Amino acid sequence: MNDELIEEAIKKVREEVNPISDIRASAEYRRYISGILFKRAFEKLISY
Protein backbone atom coordinates (compact mmCIF):
# COMPACT_ATOMS: atom_id res chain seq x y z
CA MET A 1 0.00 0.00 0.00
CA ASN A 2 1.53 3.30 -0.98
CA ASP A 3 1.20 6.68 0.69
CA GLU A 4 -1.05 8.00 -2.08
CA LEU A 5 -3.66 5.30 -1.45
CA ILE A 6 -3.51 5.86 2.30
CA GLU A 7 -4.07 9.59 1.82
CA GLU A 8 -7.04 8.84 -0.45
CA ALA A 9 -8.51 6.57 2.24
CA ILE A 10 -8.04 9.29 4.87
CA LYS A 11 -9.84 11.75 2.58
CA LYS A 12 -12.74 9.31 2.20
CA VAL A 13 -12.97 8.82 5.98
CA ARG A 14 -13.13 12.57 6.50
CA GLU A 15 -15.88 12.87 3.87
CA GLU A 16 -17.97 10.09 5.40
CA VAL A 17 -17.88 10.99 9.10
CA ASN A 18 -20.56 13.31 10.38
CA PRO A 19 -19.37 14.56 13.78
CA ILE A 20 -21.15 17.02 16.01
CA SER A 21 -19.85 20.31 17.32
CA ASP A 22 -20.01 20.92 21.01
CA ILE A 23 -18.22 22.80 23.75
CA ARG A 24 -15.25 20.41 23.64
CA ALA A 25 -14.52 20.39 19.90
CA SER A 26 -15.87 21.61 16.59
CA ALA A 27 -17.12 19.24 13.92
CA GLU A 28 -14.27 20.37 11.67
CA TYR A 29 -11.67 19.43 14.28
CA ARG A 30 -13.32 16.06 14.93
CA ARG A 31 -13.38 15.37 11.18
CA TYR A 32 -9.67 16.20 10.97
CA ILE A 33 -8.87 13.93 13.93
CA SER A 34 -10.89 11.08 12.41
CA GLY A 35 -8.38 10.96 9.56
CA ILE A 36 -5.46 10.86 11.98
CA LEU A 37 -7.05 8.09 14.03
CA PHE A 38 -7.79 6.10 10.88
CA LYS A 39 -4.17 6.41 9.73
CA ARG A 40 -2.82 5.30 13.12
CA ALA A 41 -5.17 2.32 13.24
CA PHE A 42 -4.37 1.33 9.66
CA GLU A 43 -0.61 1.56 10.23
CA LYS A 44 -0.92 -0.54 13.36
CA LEU A 45 -3.02 -3.10 11.50
CA ILE A 46 -0.55 -3.54 8.65
CA SER A 47 2.44 -3.69 11.01
CA TYR A 48 1.38 -7.12 12.31
**Residue 7 three-state SS:** helix
Q: How far apart are CA 2 and CA 24, in angstroms?
A: 34
pLDDT at res. 48: 84
Q: How far apart are CA 24 and CA 47, in angstroms?
A: 32
pLDDT at res. 2: 85
- Per-domain residue ranges of the chain: 3-46
Inform me whether the pLDDT recorded for 1 exceeds 80: no
What digits encode the pLDDT tens for the residues 18-43?
Answer: 999 999 999 999 999 999 999 999 99
**How far apart, in Å, are the Cα atoms of 48 and each of 8, 33, 45?**
22, 23, 6
pLDDT at res. 20: 97
pLDDT at res. 15: 96
